[in-house]
């Protein structure tokens, strides 16, 4: 019996999509996949439908490196509206609480240090977190009462960058994975003696990817099917910048690709493993091409994910 032929082209790499407002992350992945006629695609970190900005989308073998992007640091710019809290903590929800209090710049600056470092944060009820196998937002929409548990997150920097008017403040934030910016806005407003919710949110950095690498859906569609074009793709290796690299010989590469460990016990190997300790991950290269994600231990590296292209 013949194997079923996969639909689409075997495209491997990353598209750093500048996601438009109003589009869900899953829909964005589908749009990129259709535009490029790619066989396989997945995203490197959910972005709320009302938000804009960087949504890295992995194609083909790049899907094996998604976790490295999701685990990376992120940066956002957001606008917080004081005086109104919505049930979704964004402009798509219904108002559930109001306040006449509007903090001044000095009060905001004084409150910021309390949100730096590792903090406990309660995610929004309207979130994609799974509870007993079901998304929290699906439970809320079905009329269930959802009690979200606090999570430890990391805020590296929080900067007040503008006050369009007394009702609004614009911030830049650098944070670790799993941080909910909607919750950050809600909690900051509460510390300031008022209530608040986001009116705008843009992701400006995720993992190794920055805004100057982003491409819109329209631009992607224009170049996606032109012969000789890069199709707006970044190499698989672009997601792996923060992981130690190790260059292998062709013989070693064959072993790793066949699922076998590569021993590194000769004198000539000492330089390659000088900075490694047992349990460290490495990206194995043959020439300029990453061939596998591997783990070092006991004088050898073992393949964790082999990249086939």
Q: Does any domain span residue 4?
A: no
CB 54 within 8 A of CB 206: yes
> Which CA distances in Å does 17 have to 70, 220, 269?
15, 9, 40
The predicted pLDDT at position 279 comes to 93
The predicted pLDDT at position 272 comes to 79
The predicted pLDDT at position 7 comes to 82
Q: Does any domain span residue 7?
A: no
Q: Does any domain span residue 156?
A: yes
Q: Does 127 share its domain with 190? A: yes
SS3 240: helix
**Active site annotation includes 48:** yes
Q: Does 104 share its domain with 197? A: yes
Q: What is the pLDDT along the chain (309 residues), one digit of tens a residue?
A: 445 567 888 899 999 999 999 999 999 999 999 999 999 999 888 899 999 999 999 999 999 999 999 999 999 999 999 999 999 999 999 999 999 999 999 999 999 999 999 999 998 876 666 666 667 666 666 666 667 788 999 999 999 999 999 999 999 999 999 999 999 999 999 999 999 999 999 999 999 999 999 999 999 988 765 544 466 789 999 999 889 999 999 999 999 999 999 998 777 677 778 888 899 999 999 998 999 999 999 889 999 999 988
Q: Does any domain span residue 193?
A: yes
Domain count, the chain: 3
199-220 as b/e: b if 16+ CB within 10 A = bbbbbbbbbbbeeebbbebeeb
Which among 9, 27, 48, 156 is annotated as catalytic? 48
Question: CA 174, CA 277: separation in Å to the nearest integer?
Answer: 29
Q: Does any domain span residue 284?
A: yes
SS3 114: helix
The predicted pLDDT at position 93 comes to 93
CA atoms within 13 A of residue 304's CA, in its CB half-sphere: 17
Q: Does 43 share its domain with 115? A: no
Residue after which a domain boundary falls, among 204, 230, 264? 204
Return the CATH number at 283.
Answer: 2.30.130.10
Q: Bridge-partner residues for 232, per DSSP?
A: none
Return the CATH number at 127.
Answer: 3.30.2350.10
Q: Does any domain span residue 297?
A: yes
CB 269 within 8 A of CB 249: no
CB 255 within 8 A of CB 294: no
The predicted pLDDT at position 149 comes to 85
Question: CA 44, CA 13: separation in Å to the nearest integer?
Answer: 12
Is 53 exposed, middle or buried (CB count within 10 Å of its CB: 0-12, 13-18, 19+)? Answer: buried
Residue after which a domain boundary falls, among 156, 185, 204? 204
The predicted pLDDT at position 123 comes to 87
Q: Does 225 share its domain with 176? A: no
Question: CA 185, CA 190: separation in Å to the nearest integer?
Answer: 9
Q: Does any domain span residue 8?
A: no
Q: Does 30 share its domain with 100? A: no
Q: Does 221 share its domain with 256? A: no
The predicted pLDDT at position 35 comes to 92
Instruction: Give backbone dihedrals phi and psi of 191, rounded to 5 degrees, phi first.
Output: -60, -30
The predicted pLDDT at position 213 comes to 94
Segments forming the whole domain that contains residue 288:
243-306
Q: Does 105 share its domain with 158? A: yes
Q: Does 185 share its domain with 37? A: no
Question: CA 138, CA 249: separation in Å to the nearest integer?
Answer: 51
How many helices (H) does the chain have, and how many strands (E)?
Answer: 8, 18
């Amino acid at each position: 019996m013949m194997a079923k032929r996969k639909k689409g082209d075997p495209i491997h790499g990353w598209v750093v999509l500048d996601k438009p407002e109003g589009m869900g992350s899953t829909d964005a992945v589908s749009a990129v996949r259709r535009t490029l006629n790619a066989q396989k695609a997945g995203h490197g970190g959910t972005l709320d439908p009302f938000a804009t900005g960087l949504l890295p989308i992995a194609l083909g073998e790049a899907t094996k490196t998604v976790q490295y992007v999701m685990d990376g640091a992120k940066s956002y710019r957001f606008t917080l509206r004081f005086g109104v809290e919505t049930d979704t903590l964004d402009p798509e929800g219904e108002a559930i609480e109001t306040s006449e209090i509007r903090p001044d710049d000095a009060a905001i600056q004084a409150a910021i240090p309390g949100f730096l470092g590792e903090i406990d944060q309660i995610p929004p009820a309207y979130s994609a977190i799974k509870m007993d196998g079901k998304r929290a937002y699906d439970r809320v929409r079905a009329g269930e009462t959802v009690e979200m548990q606090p999570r430890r997150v990391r805020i590296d920097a929080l900067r007040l960058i503008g006050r369009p008017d007394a009702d609004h403040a614009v911030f830049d934030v650098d944070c670790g994975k799993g941080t909910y910016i909607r919750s950050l806005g809600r909690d900051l407003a509460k510390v300031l003696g008022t209530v608040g919710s986001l009116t705008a949110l843009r992701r400006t950095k995720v993992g190794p990817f920055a805004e100057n690498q982003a491409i819109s859906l329209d631009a992607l569609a224009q170049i996606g099917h032109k012969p000789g074009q890069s199709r707006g793709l970044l190499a698989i290796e672009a997601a792996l910048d923060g992981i130690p690299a190790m260059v292998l010989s062709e013989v070693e590469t064959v072993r790793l690709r066949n699922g076998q460990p590569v021993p590194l016990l000769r004198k000539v190997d000492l330089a390659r493993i000088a900075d490694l300790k047992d349990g460290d991950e490495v990206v194995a290269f043959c020439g300029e091409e990453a061939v596998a994600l591997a783990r070092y231990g006991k004088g050898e590296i073992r393949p964790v994910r082999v990249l086939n292209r």
